[in-house]
Structure 1
Amino acid sequence: MTPEFVIGFAREAIELTLTIALPMLGVGMAVGIIISIFQAATQIQEMTLTIVPKIIAIFLVLLISFPWIMDRMVTYTTNVFLNLPTYIR
């Protein structure tokens, strides 16, 4: 294994991780911004008003995007296992 291979392998794993996390993180950020604007406009400073909608939104996005996430993870894992003899050389 060359250093370039290890760096490329790690880069691919990190890219997959970020790609999988992006829908949940994006929705969490968007809901957080909307709730923050609502809190600033109404001057309500309740912490549960921030946390509960984010949890619900992230959970819904996770349910919707779960088949896509599993497809990406299974494809990546299959490629790793199929190319394992190549990686060992």
Structure 2
Amino acid sequence: MTPEVVIDIFRDALFLIVQMVAVIVTPSLIIGLIVSTLQAATQINEQTLSFLPRLLVTLLTIMVTGPWLLGQLMDFFNNLMLNIPGLIG
């Protein structure tokens, strides 16, 4: 196995991780920005007010995109397992 092959596998794995995290975190960031804007406009400084909507949106995002995320992870793993004989030899 050459260093180029290892770098390619690592690059693909890192891209998959970044993609999965972005799908989960982006809606939470958007909701956090909206809630923060509303808190600034109304001058309500309650920490728990911003936590609960972000938590609910994150959980809903995981529920909705969970099958797709798991499918992407399984595709990567299956591809890696099928290519092991070619990568070693």
* TM-score of the two chains, using structure 2 as the length reference: 0.94
Matched ranges for 1:70-81 at <5 A: 70-81=70-81
**CA deviations over 1:8-64 (Å, ceiling 9, x no partner):** 111100000111111211101101100110110011111101111101000001000
Identity %: 34
**CA deviations over 1:51-79 (Å, ceiling 9, x no partner):** 11101000001000011011101111100
**Dislocated runs of 4+, deviation >3 Å:** none
Answering whether residue 57 of structure 2 is matched by residue 49 of structure 1, we say no
Give 5+ residue unaligned stretches, structure 2. none
Answering whether residue 31 of structure 2 is matched by residue 31 of structure 1, we say yes
Q: Distance in 2 between matches of 1:23 and 1:10?
A: 20
**How large is the RMSD of aligned CA atoms in angstroms?**
0.9
* Residues matched between the structures, number: 89
